[in-house]
Amino acid sequence: MPELPEVETVRRDLARHLVGARITGAEVWRERSIRQQPGGRAEFLAEVSGQTIAAVSRRGKFLWLDFGNGTALQAHLGMSGQLLVRAAPVEHPHLRVRLWVTGAPDDTTALDFVDQRTFGHLLAVELVETETGMVPASLSHIAPDALDLLLAAGTPARQAAVAAIGRRGTAIKALLLQQGLVSGIGNIYADEALWRARINPQAPASTLTEAQIEEALTAAATVMGESLAAGGTSFDELYVDALGRSGAFQHHLSVYGRAGEPCPRCGTPIAKVTLQGRGTHFCPACQVLPAAAAPTV
């Protein structure tokens, strides 16, 4: 599933190609891709047609086209969703929704939602005011993400996140994946961040110091920033940016997907365990689990 760097890469592309454009119409080929729209196809078409895209925003793994009038088109990419800007229509076997646009900054005439597995969706929504700005009502519970300035060291939001994590006896990796605490971190970047912070992913958060939790959040922000600079992580053709290009950060991963390979730091073979149903990679020598810290998941 695309994580924060991948979604942010797509958001930046869409902002460059769509801000200022007007949606002249839409076509829906797969009802499942708008399954959360209460009024179905008719409501979806009515809500998006004629709207002007004022901005493209993101929180965690969700992004939305802000229409500047209190409404927006929210997108969740799921496992295989892609938002692709087109200068001309392109046939695709997994094309689910197409938005026709005019007045784009360049030659863009359409935005295609392509989704092989159909776990993603589009939804026309109202925006609500939160402490961090206007967001879709359905996302108001999502916490600020690891790249959000509100999580900068020393701020109340950062301190609150550290305290909320530290109070729990759940494995630290599982908490990093909970979008109500810190959003945008997924399986790949949780493994990479904890390796950088030298923290065992199975360690109960309550056994860690505030400094260790701070280090984990800092490492998450750092690794996701590096991934963003590389266009995200692409293991297959399911994740591409809005222009159809793959990311390159998969070539720079230290532990994720490298079970049995030597740790880049100490040479010990990388281990893989299953934690809450997620494959979890770590170095057993660099990320030692204290004997007294039996993980609770």
Q: Which residues are catalytic?
A: 2-3, 61, 278
Cα–chain-centroid distance for residue 199? 23
Neighbour-count burial of 138, counting CB atoms closer than 10 A to its CB (0-12 exposed, 13-18 middle, 19+ buried): middle
CA 134: distance to chain centroid? 18
Distances (CA, A) of 18 to 54, 55, 245, 273: 9, 8, 18, 43
| Beta strands in the chain, from DSSP E residues, in sequence order | 22-28, 55-59, 62-66, 71-76, 81-86, 95-102, 110-115, 121-130, 133-136, 271-275, 278-282
